[in-house]
Structure 1
Amino acid sequence: MSSKSHQQGGFTLVEILVSITIIAILIAILIPAVQHVRESARRITCADRMKQVGLAMHNYHSSFNQLPSVMGGTTASAVDGPSPTLTCNRNYLGGLVALLPMLEQQALWDQIVAGGPLEEDTLGNMVTPSMGPAPWIGQFKPWATDVAFLRCPSDPASSDLSSPAYGESGTSRSNYAFCMGDTILLVHSGGRNEAGFYDTDGIEPSDLSTSALAGVKTRTRKNRNDIAQLARSTNRGLFWARHRTSFRDCTDGLSNTIAMSEIATHLGNNEIIDTAIFDQGTQMLTQPNFCEQAIDPNRPTHWGAGFSEGNQSFDAEKKGTRWCDGRLLYTAFQTILPPGSVTCFSLRDASHGLSSATSRHVEGVSTLFADGSVRYITTSIDAGNSAAAPVLGAQPSPYGIWGALGTRGSGEIVQNY
């Protein structure tokens, strides 16, 4: 009888190990690629939403022959007495509120115009007048409404809709902010107080010491000519808080002037791109990079231990957390430090401050120009000398191409960015 040899089936151990190794390598290559594709899609959506806001801005200008007011609304009416927080919005409403009808949000706009009752019994079932209460009162339903077109998909933060006592939270977020130029002095208020009159807000132009900063916010009803002149020379951006501007003011050209950019909203991880620090005094007014000393030298993307969120930030004052608030911390920025830089304030959110454009994208921010185009500006853009003092009037910006793009009429020639 002849015998037949039988060949064993299956894989050897070496073959299995090689196969596993190849699969692991493929996964290691593919996962980052998939994540990159997803982020690219999110960034495109983010830019598209910003472009829609830009189109709304142009439609608004066509209708009213002016740009939406950054910090406007109903004014405070008394020098002293009870806080008008629930009876008016104290001239703090942001420009995004005015754009709602142009962004197919007519129903939300109608609610704001109508005013109405607050949601929380802790405030005594107050009824607010037209245009609502102060923008930090989350019990006013429109302020707590999430508006999808104001959010960049790359930002994972969600709106904190909890409502602690007095409503100093519970408002919704925005990743899109208006450009206020390349200076700090009087940019936080435009030079006008809550009653709409030119006033110092406690700061004398001839005395920028820390002690001068201690003055309370005033609601006097008398203009100061020196403050009006100073504010006119320091507010160099396309938008000017508590003032009207239009495209005709943009003598540098619409395609060379930034209208809006991105801000990363607060996550609570002590990152410099989304966490503001406060009580930094007045040195930043003449040395914009002053607050950078608080960055952790071992982790340059985070604040150092001495400037942690716990002792430097306020519970209700988080970057990008109030879509309806026009102040620097919430829906505005300056082109002083390059994208991805710090945000800090001399006192709190209503004081002199420096707000930087930031995002969750890779090394850059989507930026809307006044002509309606959206371009991606990298963090490596020329930003000049961050230690230089801001300039006044129509002088060229000391902050390089980034600073020049943020001014509306300084006469710089901008190219190659």
Structure 2
Amino acid sequence: MQISWSDGRRRSAFTLVELLVVIAIIGVLIALLLPAVQQAREASRRISCSNNLKQLGLAMHNYHGTFQSFPYGQFNDQQLDEATQQPNRATWFVATLPFVEQSTMYDAIKGSMGTTPANEWDETSRKTVLSAFVCPSDPNGGKVGTDGFQGNYLGNAGVEALSQAEAAISATDNTGMNGLFFVKSHINFKDITDGTSNTLMFGEIRQSPQENCTIGNYWNGWGMETMFCAVFSKINTTSMDFVPFGAGADNPWRPTQQLPASAFTAYHLRSAHVGGVMATRADASVSFLPNTLSGQVYKDLLNRGDGSVVPPF
């Protein structure tokens, strides 16, 4: 330790080695503390995401109480040449707006529903980001694409991919798909014969930074962009999504295969949460689906009437 003299008094000073030791100790403490801070922040974001999905489930229950069924997954299907039917390209998101405290937005677009497609409705409404549909853990959450706001939460279409043939059947008698939302669907509680606690209603996806990736496109649902299925039976799968040509883009977590417009569509549950994804059940409860979830249990959760018992996980 060096000793210095000033005004007749002795004062000590740090040596360079001692200063470096102190800096090193501070660095170690920060390194130990940072993961804990990050985990606390992620826990908070996960709680917020869970609350979003809970409120969305309750909104669907209120919708069902008003109309005696859940809304359609999307109003029509471009594969069936229904472009003249209005509200063309509308999705379940639009029908839900009055039940998530967005009556003003709904009123702004209501006058256009019978005359023009959803992607041409009031631009201010379309480009408004609703935090209730955004997972705060997703770095690309709250994306505004070409048509408007794209969210993180999709409706359960069932186990199989959505195809033209299935859409045609679903539009007439609801037998083509085994989830809750699809083309012109009108599923109600009595259709969920497995029980509402054994059937998923919503799940989350990771949003893309790429403009031409349309997953979660709430304002232009012509390729089933607001619904998910379980073709590959895996949460956070590295298998590719199947999308209509021009409707998708690769990401590090989401490779895609673009197919002709007449082919099927398959979007899968993914999230930025560690170890799994958040999902709403049809009883409006929220669960965390781990990456280790059995493929069969995952399919059972999506199928509203397969008669299978869903075990705890």
Same fold (TM over 0.5): yes
Name the aligned partner's letter for residue 65 of structure 1: Q
- Asked if structure 2 preserves the Cα contact closer than 8 Å seen for 1:138 and 1:144, the reply is no
Instruction: Work out which of the residue numbers 227, 241, 244 in structure 2 matches 1:343.
Output: 241
- Say yes or no: does 1:64 pair with 2:6: no
Deviation at residue 187 of structure 1 after TM alignment: 7.2
- Asked if structure 2 preserves the Cα contact closer than 8 Å seen for 1:179 and 1:259, the reply is yes
- Residues 3-152 of structure 1: matches in 2 within 5 Å? 9-72=12-75, 84=84, 88-90=86-88, 92-115=89-112, 130-131=113-114, 133-137=116-120, 140-152=123-135
How well do the aligned residues superpose, as a CA RMSD in angstroms? 2.9
| Aligned match of 1:181 | 158
Greater share of strand: 2
| Aligned match of 1:205 | none
Residues 63-121 of structure 1, C-alpha deviations (whole Å, 9 max, x = no match): 11111111127x99x979xx64xx8443x311111111111111111112112xxxxxx
| Aligned match of 1:247 | 189
- Asked if structure 1 preserves the Cα contact closer than 8 Å seen for 2:227 and 2:267, the reply is yes
How far apart, in 2, do the equivalents of 1:380 and 1:357 lie? 13
Q: Secondary structure at the match of 1:62?
A: helix
- C-alpha spacing 1:186/1:65, structure 2 compared with 1 (3 Å): same
Deviation at residue 8 of structure 1 after TM alignment: 5.6
Q: TM-score, normalised by structure 1?
A: 0.62
- Say yes or no: does 1:267 pair with 2:165: no
- Say yes or no: does 1:323 pair with 2:218: yes
Deviation at residue 340 of structure 1 after TM alignment: 1.2
- C-alpha spacing 1:267/1:325, structure 2 compared with 1 (3 Å): same
- Asked if structure 1 preserves the Cα contact closer than 8 Å seen for 2:72 and 2:183, the reply is yes
Name the aligned partner's letter for residue 156 of structure 1: P
- C-alpha spacing 1:52/1:355, structure 2 compared with 1 (3 Å): same
- Asked if structure 2 preserves the Cα contact closer than 8 Å seen for 1:154 and 1:360, the reply is yes
Name the aligned partner's letter for residue 135 of structure 2: C
How far apart, in 2, do the equivalents of 1:103 and 1:380 lie? 33
- C-alpha spacing 1:160/1:189, structure 2 compared with 1 (3 Å): farther
Deviation at residue 18 of structure 1 after TM alignment: 1.5
Deviation at residue 353 of structure 1 after TM alignment: 1.5
| Aligned match of 2:254 | none
How far apart, in 2, do the equivalents of 1:240 and 1:62 lie? 20
Deviation at residue 251 of structure 1 after TM alignment: 0.5
How far apart, in 1, do the equivalents of 2:44 and 2:124 lie? 32
How many residues matched? 287
- Say yes or no: does 1:154 pair with 2:137: yes
| Aligned match of 2:253 | none
How far apart, in 2, do the equivalents of 1:132 and 1:50 lie? 32
How far apart, in 2, do the equivalents of 1:188 and 1:143 lie? 30
- C-alpha spacing 1:187/1:14, structure 2 compared with 1 (3 Å): farther
Name the aligned partner's letter for residue 230 of structure 2: T
Q: Which deviates more, 103-112 or 341-350?
A: 341-350
- Asked if structure 1 preserves the Cα contact closer than 8 Å seen for 2:143 and 2:151, the reply is no
Deviation at residue 57 of structure 1 after TM alignment: 0.4
| Aligned match of 1:166 | none
- Asked if structure 1 preserves the Cα contact closer than 8 Å seen for 2:192 and 2:304, the reply is yes
How far apart, in 2, do the equivalents of 1:336 and 1:381 lie? 15
Residues 163-220 of structure 1, C-alpha deviations (whole Å, 9 max, x = no match): xxxxxx1411111110011012537962269xx6x6xxxxxxxxxxxxxxxxxxxxxx
Q: TM-score, normalised by structure 2?
A: 0.81
Q: Which runs of 5+ in 1 are unaligned?
A: 116-129, 162-168, 199-227, 269-314, 384-399
- Asked if structure 2 preserves the Cα contact closer than 8 Å seen for 1:336 and 1:402, the reply is no
| Aligned match of 1:172 | 149
Deviation at residue 412 of structure 1 after TM alignment: 0.6
Instruction: Work out which of the residue numbers 266, 272, 278 in structure 2 matches 1:360.
Output: 272
